[in-house]
Amino acid sequence: MAFELKQNLKLSQQLIMTPQLQQAIKLLQLSRLEMMEVVNQEMEENPLLEEVPVEENAEPEKEFEREEALLLEREELGHVDRTEELTGEGDGKEEFDWNGYLEDYRPAGQVHDYRDSEAPTLDNLLSTKPSLLDHLMWQLKLSPFTELEMRVGEQIIGNIDQDGYLRASLEEMTAQEKVAVEVFEDVLRRVQEFDPPGVGARDLRECLLIQGKMLDVPERELVLAIIRDHLHELERKDYNLIAKRLKVSLDDVVQAVMVITHMDPKPGSIYSDEKAQSIIPDVYVFKVGDEYKVVLNEDGVPRLRISNYYREIMAAGDEKGSGESNKRYLRERAQSASWLIKSILQRQKTIYKVAESLVKFQRDFFDAGIKHLKPLVLRDIADDVEMHESTISRVVTNKYIHTPRGVFELKYFFSSSIHKTDGDAIASKSVKDAIKKIIAGEEPMHPFSDQEIVERLEAAGIDIARRTVAKYREMMRILPSSRRKKYF
């Protein structure tokens, strides 16, 4: 068998993600806070980047067009090697027009002053409240405990989670401290008397029993009996069975249940360290006359430029003939900075186009509310703005829009369709809202079943299956009719 060498010419196409494209895609899918983190990190690593002071803002309405026009002009004059710019390749020895390169990348964006918009107060930002651990340790130190009991109490409190429940068994803690289990039981009983009521419980039943023992009401004994022996029936709201087994009247059971419903199943939650996060919208929609205007919220979006200090250094370096390594480094940093500025500009432009398209498709929603929300999928917007569906998906994720009807995530406006009896389609979110309104109008003693909800929707012209109603109800975290029934 003979071997020989052959030379063939083959033409093929490959899809290559350039560094600039990767950065643009990464910025596009980030939320506002995440983008700020990326920009801050880039500014720390790239000495050529600096933020433009607010007072130096440029004309915003022509920002997008001016950037594109400058780029096209440079291509026509031959100032840009597109292959080299996108791949980042080059030996750094060629002559490079620093002044022309830097002049083409002006600060992008506009800072809109939304001083009238609601924002969290300084008190909410600066004040701190004690944690559950701090509150319990404060009470422990005020209690008459011995040194041994104090150590055991610290061990118990250290194993209480943020909901107020003890998550370690007594056996585990006694093995670690090498103390008799009776000591732990005695200290635990005294810790369970701390504020908030119910803290230190090992399960829901014990938590409710601790709170029940602190009550001073006529129904106290009945409340304790229901919690201790009939918690499962209480969950199913089978009050008749509870009354029969405890040999009391249904009215007495209902009165006891009213007391139980005011107890806190998670006593430690009031000391939660979770902070309310205010939503900063990326886009504002204002109604001007009969039209809706889309305005980008660029308050807080950094307006970047290449430092004037380094501009002078690079211009002087060209005249004096600086070292090739320095020129290569400065060129890489300048290129990285320009890519970031262009990516931020492109991100804002894409968000604007998608938001404008959403407003056009969902005009009826803005005029008349959720009942008129239209079915919409990513492809509809993609076709309208001439982008890929994956790009639209990145845009609508973690982006918010402020409208006359409230603040919504951009993906809120996308929903599947449900057929109506007249042949038209309605958005699934509109159907969910209709189900919520039907349940809100039901009688507490006689809640609607899923089949009754289906019948009422059909009367309103919405053709929907019972299992779909059950699915939507569960998605909205609404209990079934048997557990929505109320006796008071």
Instruction: For residue 97, give its domain range.
Output: 19-111+284-390
Clarify whether residues 106 and 136 are in a common domain.
no
Residue 402 belongs to a domain = no
Beta bridge partners of 446: 443
Residue 187 belongs to a domain = yes
Residue labelled with tokens 């009688």: 443
Q: Among the three residues 220, 239, 271, which one is the final residue of a domain in this structure?
A: 271
d(CA 308, CA 106): 12
Clarify whether residues 254 and 194 are in a common domain.
yes
Clarify whether residues 212 and 317 are in a common domain.
no
Alpha-carbon torsion (453, 455, 461, 463), positive or negative: positive
pLDDT at site 323: 66
Q: Return mean pLDDT, the chain.
A: 81
Residue 56 banded pLDDT, cuts 50, 70, 90: low
Residue 276 banded pLDDT, cuts 50, 70, 90: low
Mean pLDDT (whole number) for 2-15: 79
Structure tokens at 420: 């109506």
Beta bridge partners of 443: 446
Of the ranges 23-27, 44-48, 123-127, 223-227, the best mean pLDDT one: 223-227
Clarify whether residues 158 and 85 are in a common domain.
no
Clarify whether residues 137 and 266 are in a common domain.
yes
pLDDT at site 30: 85
Clarify whether residues 262 and 295 are in a common domain.
no
Q: Among the three residues 372, 390, 408, which one is the final residue of a domain in this structure?
A: 390
132: closest CA among 288, 4, 314, 272?
272
Question: How does strand 400-403 pair with strand 283-288?
Answer: parallel
232: closest CA among 481, 480, 450, 483?
483
Residue 406 belongs to a domain = no
d(CA 404, CA 54): 28
Alpha-carbon torsion (247, 250, 254, 255), positive or negative: negative
* Of 247-261, 303-317, 411-425, 433-447, minimum mean pLDDT range: 303-317
Clarify whether residues 25 and 107 are in a common domain.
yes
Structure tokens at 137: 């340790």
Q: Reply yes or no on whether the pLDDT at 37 is more than 50.
A: yes
Clarify whether residues 290 and 255 are in a common domain.
no
Strands (E), 354-450: 400-403, 406-409, 417-419, 425-427
21: closest CA among 329, 347, 383, 354?
347
Q: Among the three residues 249, 271, 293, which one is the final residue of a domain in this structure?
A: 271
Clarify whether residues 355 and 458 are in a common domain.
no
Residue 460 belongs to a domain = yes
pLDDT at site 114: 41
Cα–Cα distances in Å, from 462 out to 343, 364, 430? 45, 18, 10
pLDDT at site 308: 78
pLDDT at site 258: 92
- Residue 353: how many CB atoms within 10 A of its CB? 18
Which is higher by pLDDT, 243 or 75? 243
Structure tokens at 139: 């009470």
pLDDT digits (tens, 9 = 90+) for 82-134: 434 333 344 444 444 545 544 444 444 444 444 444 555 555 555 567 889 99
Of the ranges 75-79, 104-108, 141-145, the best mean pLDDT one: 141-145
Reported pTM: 0.67
Quick one: which H or E segment has residue 292?
strand 291-296
d(CA 79, CA 71): 10
Q: Reply yes or no on whether the pLDDT at 46 is more than 50.
A: yes
Clarify whether residues 143 and 267 are in a common domain.
yes
369: closest CA among 403, 414, 410, 416?
403
Clarify whether residues 369 and 339 are in a common domain.
yes
* Of 116-120, 289-293, 321-325, 386-390, minimum mean pLDDT range: 116-120
Please check whether residue 198 is in contact with residue 207, taking contact to mean a CB–CB distance below 8 angstroms: yes
CA 257 to chain CA mean position, Å: 37
pLDDT digits (tens, 9 = 90+) for 176-211: 888 889 999 999 999 999 999 999 999 999 999 999
297: closest CA among 405, 414, 410?
410
CA 144 to chain CA mean position, Å: 46
pLDDT at site 122: 52
| CATH for 453 | 1.10.10.60
Percent of the chain exceeding pLDDT 70 equals 80
Clarify whether residues 48 and 101 are in a common domain.
yes
pLDDT digits (tens, 9 = 90+) for 353-402: 999 999 999 999 999 988 889 999 999 999 999 998 989 998 998 899 99
Cα–Cα distances in Å, from 137 out to 3, 51, 144, 154, 196? 84, 47, 13, 7, 13
DSSP 165: B
Residue 361 belongs to a domain = yes
d(CA 49, CA 33): 19
pLDDT at site 121: 56
pLDDT digits (tens, 9 = 90+) for 204-228: 999 999 999 999 889 999 999 999 9
What's the domain count of the chain? 3
What are residue 384's phi and psi, to 5 degrees? Answer: -70, -40
Residue 401 belongs to a domain = no
pLDDT at site 161: 93
